[in-house]
Each structure stands twice: as C-alpha cells, then as structure tokens.
C-alpha cells in the first residue's frame, strides 16, 4: 500500500480513538496524577490498535512502516495533547526490535545525556514513562525508570531522571539517532498541536463580540491570524518533509529542518494565540493552555531552533557545493522512500 | 482553508527535466557576475529567452497544438526553479510564460490562441502586465483606463504604471473599464491585449533606486484597438485578473529572489572552512542553517501548491500564504547576511559579494509589493479562513 494511503487510514483511526479517549479531561487527569501508571487505559488502546508497533519490522511482529506513513497520526497525537510518549515509543520499539531486544510494553521515553551508563538526563514525558532510551556520544542504554530517581518539572510531564548503572543496560551500536528521531517525533506532534491552537483561536475570534461585532471582523485581528496560519502551515509541511526523510540518507538533515522550523514557530503561534484569546486563554479552565504550555516546553526538547540551525548550517558548509541544489537534494528522500516501499 | 498543505514527490518524468536544464545553465551563464544574476526575473535578455525557447523551455505548460510543451505544472516548477536558482536572466519571456500565455490559453478565441501562443513559445512575443495605475495600486478595482466601443473595435485612453519591461514588450494585457464608472468597482471591467507598437502608446521608463529602469509608465492617448483585442468576456475582467494573479503568486519565484546572494555568501563560508584561514563561527552556521531551513520549508510548501495546481484545483489562498511567507524569507536574506558580514568589520568582503548584497538589499522592499502587498495577501488568507 502507498505511504500516503496508509497515512490517511492511520490518521483517521488515530483521530477517532483520541477524540473518544483523549479528551481534555483525560489530559488533565494524567497531568494531575504525576504517576508512572497514569493513562494506561488510553495506552493499551493505542497499543491494541497497533500504533506503537507501526515502525517495528514486519518480521518482528510490527507493521514495518516509516514515519512518513504515520505523519498524520503524529499530528493527531499533538492535536489531542496526548499526555503519553506514543511517538517516542514507536521509535523506541523499532530501535529495540532491530537490535533484537525485547521492548518493555509501557511508554518508553527518549533522552539525551552526557554519560550513558549512569547520570542525569532531562526526559520529556519522564513522569509517565516506564523506561527510556538514553543516548550519549559513546552509545545508548535502555534504562528502567522504576530503578531511577525521577523528579518532575512544574506542571509538565517532563522529568529530570538520575539513573544508577544498575538501572541501565547497554544497547548495541546499531541503536543511534535518538536525538534526531526524538526531535522529529516532537516536531510532528508540535505541528498537530499548533493546528489545534490555531483552530481554537479562530473559533474564539469568530465567537467573541466586541464593539458590536466579532473580533474576527477587525482587520488587525485578521492579519494576525493570517500570520499564525502561515507558521502553522509551514510547520506542518516541514514535519512532512522530516518524516519523509525517516530511514533515508537524508534523515538527520530533514529532521533538523522539521524541528528547527517547529521550534521557531512555537512561541509565535502560542503567544499569538494567547494575544487573541485574551484573559480567557490564561485560565486553567480554558483548554488552550493544555497545548501552549507543551509547545513552549517542546520547543527546547531534543534541541531548540539554534541547535538544529547549527546542524543544518554545518551540513550545508561541509557537504554542499550549492545551497539551492542541496535543498532540492533533501527532497530526494521522498523518491528514496517511494523506491524503497515499491 | 479547505485544502491543507500536503507534500508529495515531484513525478520522475518532470524531475528528469532538472539535469538538462542545469547543464544548459552551467554553460550559458558562465562568467556572469552574481550582481547581474541577482536580478533574475528582472534581468532582460531576449537572446537568452530564445535559446530557452529553442529547447522547448518557454511555454512548457501551454498546449502542444499551439507550440507549447503540454507539460504539467510540476515540469514547469522544476524548470523555473532551476532558472531562478541560477539567477538566469529570464525577464524577457517571464510574464508571457507565467501568466499571459496561460490566460490566453484559457480565455482566448481559437484565433487569438493561434496568433499569440506560438509566438510566445518561440520567445518572439514578450508581454507586460497592465494592472496598476497612478491612482489604482492595491485597490485594483478602481482602475480608470477606459476602452470605449467604436465602429471597428475599441478606443483606449488612460495610464498604467509600474509596468515591468514595457519598452521591450510587444504586448500588454491591460485591465480596463469597458462600461460604467470607477465607483462600479468590479463590474464593467475587461481585459484587452494592446499591441504596444500602435500609435498613441507612449512608454516612459522610470528609474528605480538601484539605478535600473525595469518599470515604466505607459500612456494610452486614444489608441485604436481592433475588436479582437478583447480577451475573454466583456465585463469578466475582474474574474480573469484574479485567475491571472493566482498564476502570478503560486510559483517558486516568491522564494528564490535572494538566492544568488545566499549562494555567494555560502560560498565564502565554504571557502573559509576549506582554507581554515578564518574558521566559520557558530553564529554564521546558525544563520545559514536558519535560512536553509526556511528555504526548504518554503520549497515544500511551493511543491504542495504545485500539486494542487496539477490536480486542477485553484489554490489562491495557499498561494497567497506561500507568497507572504516567501517574501519574508527573501527579505530576511540581505538583512541577516548584512549583519553576519558586519559582525567582522576587520574582514574584507569580496567585490562580488558586496555588489550583490547592495543590489538585493536595495530591491528587497519590492518583493512584498509586486504581485500583491502583504496586507492584500493577508486579507486573502483571512477570506480563505472565512473571516471576511
């Protein structure tokens, strides 16, 4: 089946299950629980539908897809503020399956650190993960979070994890690219979240009446929304490009572009939405904050725009003889992927 | 917006056009200074346009029966992208290829198509756009140039301004009032093809701040036009011009206007990295990376819009969105490169880079004026969002 067709089917399936099982109330309850076992019912449903094994090779019991076929599902994770690291686990399960290591069945986080066997790492979704793959310059390890010290960050699900060497297991050298894959998964979910933030803002300005007409009738408001729409669309397309690069020779640079673009857009979209939704948007009760808080946090995760800009710029200086041809060359990933899946 | 952006690969048969175009350009543009190439689709060279035409690269999407290539929007995307990326002087045939030809192919009579399209494809007929007037810019519907019916056709009087390439063009497709008064707005407007060699046409070039004179003021002093000068339907000028502007806004020229400058600067960074005389700093690498990131994103958006065109859709809102974002990128290139170079005031800049930076910096404000200002485009996006 073509990746696009598969993508459409998975998107529909993800949207259906999340609309029912990942409501704002569920998101709030998982965030409030601050507990590793929170949200397991939702987790089991995603697992039962096969999302979490989507990237695992077919001979290892998965669907053998690339992220290009799951881009829409990742957008849906973001647009429902899924409070669990589903995209990260998809990647982790694939990496572990390829290394011939059985993956724990619960949520698996992805992290970067200075020392692989023991140390301290900042871990997105660390509060709700059972394990993590942590990557350093000298290799990757699988760490059981039950045996680690996990400290939460503010109201988020992210954590600082201190892990002893007895909690970590060295992974083969084939497990690599955790940083760029984590960045890519994050960029795609951010694109979904931005679309939701935009839709909520658009609905609000159409509804809210001031000076005798809806806010959306004011030209200044229209122009601000148009700019937000541009950044949301740009982030979406950059994430599509990034996912198309998955498991091709362009993976790192395509992921870098996706994350740099998403990170650059995040504060613009989040702050722009809050500017238009006014004081209502600042309340805990209004759902906007479920998305904007996470967008700000995700902006730094696995590298901010400065980090990935540096990766892209260095790549362009070291490997390209021409910028335009280099950029066109990244899109070869779409053909490479098409050839591989044919 | 009903149609979200979806990236897809360019079909292999269209992508196959890239290699021969690149090879041709590498030869044809050898030795041309970057500051000259930076003029790109403002750079006029009729001989160059005819060389392209000889290879079948003008009118690529026009029907085969009229001398066109009969190719898809993706094929034109590949061709145009390579021309722009190289800074080829494409201005002579640019307007005809991009919008006048497609407009005639869509709305013209069989006679008009048979007359104009083969000439366009041979790069023998160059066109300019007659939209703006001294008192009608963004408010295009307020045009005052009139075409009055006569026994044999039309009598044209009025003025057009900011007309790119007018002195070098054979024809202008002008938006004019054929009935009513300016207060009637969109009603009573039509498009006419004006042979610029006719008596009563006066073209006065206007020098711009870079010293070039690519645009002009064109005066029509009772110009007698034949009846067949009317293109499309009388009174349908507004719909036609909107369709024409969608062609004008959807192409990759809205992301590559500063590319020659970016290439020139990137080349100095590569040279510095290779010779290791002055290592490339983190700030330069980040700036280059940020520009590449935005260019790649815009290209993905532009490919997505091309896909919608290829599907027969009319992605006017999406095109406006890409143009607004694209011109922001194009304008950021000279700003960021100027800052990066100025961060090392003790380091000499090559003449080529300095000239290119000067030119692009000075002309950059025009990027978000031509083809619709930011405010107009954002208004269109807002309309697409259902806000107006």
State whether A241 and B292 contact (CB < 8 Å). Answer: no
In a domain, B181, yes or no: yes
What is the pLDDT, as a whole number, of residue A248? 95
In a domain, B245, yes or no: no
The CATH code belonging to domain A3-170 is: 1.10.540.10
- Give the mean model confidence (pLDDT) for residues A156-182: 94
Among candidate residues B125, B155, B183, the one where a domain is terminated: B125
What are the chain B neighbours of A5 within 8 Å (beta carbons)? none
Tell me: do B258 and B294 sit in the same domain.
yes
More confident residue, A236 or A333: A236
The residue segments making up the domain with residue B311 are 251-384
CATH number at residue B379: 1.20.140.10
Query: Other C-beta atoms within 10 Å of A262: how many?
Result: 33
- pLDDT per residue as tens digits for the range A46-58: 999 999 999 999 9
State whether A4 and B325 contact (CB < 8 Å). Answer: no
CA distances B210 to B37, B75, B342, B350, B361, Å, are 14, 33, 21, 19, 10
DSSP 3-state of B197:
coil
Cα–Cα distance measured from residue A233 to residue A222, given in angstroms and rounded to the nearest whole number: 16
- pLDDT per residue as tens digits for the range B288-340: 999 999 999 999 999 999 999 899 888 889 999 999 999 999 999 999 999 99
pTM: 0.96
A108 strand-pairing partners: A131
Among candidate residues B76, B97, B125, the one where a domain is terminated: B125
Please indicate if any CB of chain B lies within 8 Å of the CB of A53.
Answer: no
Please indicate if any CB of chain B lies within 8 Å of the CB of A237.
Answer: yes
Cα–Cα distance measured from residue B100 to residue A253, given in angstroms and rounded to the nearest whole number: 39
Please indicate if any CB of chain B lies within 8 Å of the CB of A311.
Answer: yes
B1 pLDDT more than 60: no
- pLDDT per residue as tens digits for the range A246-277: 999 999 999 999 999 999 999 999 999 999 99
Token pair 């002008």 is found at B174
Read off the tokens for B355: 């000239």
Min Cα–Cα distance to chain A from B73, Å: 17
Q: Which of B1, B290, B379 sits opposite A309 (nearest CB)?
A: B290
Report which DSSP code applies to B170: S
CATH number at residue B22: 1.10.540.10
**Which residues make Cβ contacts (< 8 Å) with residue A182, sequence separation at least 6?**
A88, A91, A110, A111, A112, A124, A301, A302
**Which residues make Cβ contacts (< 8 Å) with residue B336, sequence separation at least 6?**
B287, B290, B291
B156 pLDDT more than 50: yes
Rounded (5°) CA angle B207-B212-B216: 45
Closest of A35, A34, A56 to residue A47, by C-alpha: A56
CATH number at residue B140: 2.40.110.10
- pLDDT per residue as tens digits for the range A198-229: 999 999 999 999 999 999 999 999 999 999 99
Give chain B's domain count: 3
DSSP 3-state of B14:
helix
- Topology of the domain covering A178-341: Butyryl-CoA Dehydrogenase, subunit A; domain 3 (1.20.140)
Cα–Cα distance measured from residue A91 to residue A178, given in angstroms and rounded to the nearest whole number: 8
More confident residue, B276 or B74: B74
Token pair 């892990």 is found at A163
Q: What does pLDDT average to over chain B?
A: 95
Q: Which of the residue ranges A21-35, A108-122, A257-271, B34-48 would you say has the lowest mean pLDDT? A: A108-122
For an interface test with A, the pick among B18, B267, B292 (most A C-beta atoms closer than 10 Å) comes out as: B292
Please indicate if any CB of chain B lies within 8 Å of the CB of A338.
Answer: yes
In a domain, B67, yes or no: yes
Q: Which ipTM value was assigned to this complex? A: 0.96
Min Cα–Cα distance to chain B from A121, Å: 25
Q: Which of A222, A314, A317 sits opposite B379 (nearest CB)?
A: A222
pLDDT band at residue B160, thresholds of 50, 70 and 90?
very high
Tell me: do B118 and B145 sit in the same domain.
no
In a domain, B5, yes or no: no
Tell me: do B80 and B146 sit in the same domain.
no
More confident residue, B101 or A6: B101
Closest of B28, B97, B32, B85 to residue B257, by C-alpha: B85
For an interface test with A, the pick among B280, B326, B387, B388 (most A C-beta atoms closer than 10 Å) comes out as: B387
In a domain, B316, yes or no: yes
- Beta strands B171-177 and B127-130, pairing class: parallel
What are the chain A neighbours of B262 within 8 Å (beta carbons)? 323
State whether B286 and A306 contact (CB < 8 Å). Answer: yes
Q: What is the DSSP string of B102-155?
A: HHHHHH--HHHHHHHHHHHHTT---EEEE--BTTBSS-GGG---EEEE-SSEEE
Among candidate residues B207, B235, B263, the one where a domain is terminated: B235
What are the chain A neighbours of B385 within 8 Å (beta carbons)? 202, 225-226, 229
Tell me: do B207 and B321 sit in the same domain.
no
What are the chain B neighbours of A309 within 8 Å (beta carbons)? 285-287, 289-290, 293
Cα–Cα distance measured from residue B28 to residue B37, given in angstroms and rounded to the nearest whole number: 12
What is the pLDDT, as a whole number, of residue A342? 45
Q: So where are chain A's domains?
A: 3-170, 178-341
B213 pLDDT more than 50: yes
Q: What does pLDDT average to over chain A?
A: 95
Q: Which of B269, B325, B378 sits opposite A234 (nearest CB)?
A: B325
A338 pLDDT more than 70: no
Question: Helix/strand/coil (H, E, C) string of chain A?
Answer: CCHHHHHHHHHHHHHHHHHHHCCHHHHHHHHHHCCCCCCHHHHHHHHHCCHHHCCCCHHHCCCCCCHHHCHHHHHHHHHCCCCCCHHHHHHHHHHHHHCCCCCCCCCEEEEECCCCCCEEEEECCHHHCCEEEEEECCEEEEEEHHHCEEEECCCCCCEEEEECHHHEEECCCCCCCHHHHHHHHHHHHHHHHHHHHHHHHHHHHHHCEECCEEHHHCHHHHHHHHHHHHHHHHHHHHHHHHHHHCCCCCHHHHHHHHHHHHHHHHHHHHHHHHHHHCHHHHCCCCCHHHHHHHHHHHHHCCCCHHHHHHHHHHHHHHHCCCHHHHHHHHCHHHHHHHHHHC
**Are the C-beta atoms of B198 and B174 separated by less than 8 Å?**
no
State whether B300 and A230 contact (CB < 8 Å). Answer: no
CA of residue A165 relative to chain centroid, distance = 28
Token pair 């899109």 is found at A331
In a domain, B372, yes or no: yes
CA of residue A306 relative to chain centroid, distance = 18
Tell me: do B16 and B111 sit in the same domain.
yes
In a domain, B218, yes or no: yes
B226 strand-pairing partners: B153
Query: Other C-beta atoms within 10 Å of B47: how many?
Result: 9
**Are the C-beta atoms of A114 and A136 separated by less than 8 Å?**
yes
Size of interface A-B (CB pairs under 8 A): 170
């Amino acid at each position: 089946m073509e990746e696009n067709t598969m993508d459409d089917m998975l998107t529909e399936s993800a949207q259906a299950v999340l609309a029912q099982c990942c409501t704002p109330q569920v998101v709030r309850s998982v965030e409030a629980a601050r507990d590793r076992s929170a949200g397991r019912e939702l987790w089991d449903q995603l697992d039962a539908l096969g999302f979490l094994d989507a990237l695992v090779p077919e001979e290892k019991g998965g669907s053998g897809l690339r992220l290009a076929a799951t881009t829409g599902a990742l957008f849906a994770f973001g647009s429902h503020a899924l409070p669990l690291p589903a995209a990260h686990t998809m990647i982790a399960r694939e990496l572990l399956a390829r290394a011939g290591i059985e993956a724990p069945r619960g949520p698996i986080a992805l992290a970067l650190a200075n020392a692989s066997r023991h140390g301290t790492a900042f871990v997105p979704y660390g509060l709700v993960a059972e394990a993590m793959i942590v990557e350093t310059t000298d290799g990757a390890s699988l760490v059981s979070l039950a045996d680690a010290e996990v400290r939460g960050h503010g109201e988020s699900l992210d954590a600082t994890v201190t892990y002893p060497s007895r909690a970590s297991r060295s992974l083969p050298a084939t497990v690599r690219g955790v940083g760029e894959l984590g960045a890519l998964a994050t960029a795609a979910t951010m694109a979904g979240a931005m679309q939701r933030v935009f839709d909520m803002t658009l609905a609000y300005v159409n509804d809210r009446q001031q000076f005798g007409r809806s806010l959306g009738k004011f030209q200044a408001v229209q122009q601000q929304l148009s700019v937000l729409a541009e950044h949301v669309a740009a982030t979406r397309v950059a994430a599509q490009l990034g996912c198309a690069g998955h498991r091709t020779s362009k993976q790192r640079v395509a992921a870098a572009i996706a994350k740099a673009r998403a990170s650059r857009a995040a504060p613009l979209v989040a702050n722009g939405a809050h500017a238009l939704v006014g004081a209502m948007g600042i309340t805990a009760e209004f759902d906007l904050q479920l998305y904007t808080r996470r967008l700000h946090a995700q902006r730094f995760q696995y590298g901010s725009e400065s980090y990935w800009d540096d990766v892209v710029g260095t790549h362009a200086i070291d490997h390209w003889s021409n910028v335009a041809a280099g950029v066109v060359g990244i899109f070869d990933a779409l053909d490479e992927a098409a050839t591989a899946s044919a | 917006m009903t149609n979200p952006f979806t990236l897809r690969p360019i079909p292999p048969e269209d992508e196959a056009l890239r290699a021969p175009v690149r090879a041709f350009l590498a030869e044809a543009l050898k030795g041309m200074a970057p500051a000259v190439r930076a003029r790109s689709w403002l750079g006029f060279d009729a001989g160059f346009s005819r060389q392209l035409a000889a290879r079948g690269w003008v009118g690529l999407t026009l029907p085969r029966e009229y001398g066109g290539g009969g190719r898809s929007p993706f094929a034109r995307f590949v061709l145009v992208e390579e021309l722009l990326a190289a800074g080829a002087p494409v201005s002579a045939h640019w307007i005809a290829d991009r919008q006048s030809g497609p407009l005639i192919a869509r709305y013209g009579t069989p006679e008009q198509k048979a007359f104009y399209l083969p000439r366009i494809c041979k790069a023998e007929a160059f066109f300019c756009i007659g939209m703006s007037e001294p008192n009608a810019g963004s408010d295009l519907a307020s045009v005052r140039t009139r075409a009055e019916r006569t026994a044999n056709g039309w009598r044209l009087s009025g003025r057009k301004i900011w007309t790119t390439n007018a002195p070098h063009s054979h024809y202008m497709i002008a938006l004019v009032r054929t009935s009513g008064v300016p207060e009637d707005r969109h009603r009573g407007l039509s498009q006419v093809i004006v042979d610029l060699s006719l008596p009563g046409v006066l073209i006065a070039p206007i020098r711009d701040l870079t010293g070039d004179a690519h645009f002009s003021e064109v005066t029509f002093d009772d110009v007698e036009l034949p009846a067949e000068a009317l293109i499309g339907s009388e009174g349908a000028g507004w719909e036609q011009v909107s369709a024409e502007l969608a062609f004008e806004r959807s192409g990759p020229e809205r992301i590559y206007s500063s590319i020659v400058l970016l290439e020139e600067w990137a080349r100095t960074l590569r040279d510095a990295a290779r010779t290791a005389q002055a290592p490339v700093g983190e700030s330069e690498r980040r700036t280059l990376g940020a520009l590449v990131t935005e260019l790649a994103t815009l290209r993905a958006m532009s490919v997505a819009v091309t896909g919608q065109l290829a599907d027969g859709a009319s992605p006017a809102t999406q095109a406006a969105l890409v143009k607004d974002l694209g011109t922001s990128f194009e304008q950021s290139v000279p700003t960021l490169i100027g800052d990066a170079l100025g961060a090392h005031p003790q380091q000499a800049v090559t003449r080529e880079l300095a000239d290119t930076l000067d030119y692009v910096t000075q002309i950059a404000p025009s990027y978000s004026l031509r083809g619709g200002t930011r405010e107009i485009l954002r208004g269109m996006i807002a309309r697409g969002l259902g806000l107006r």
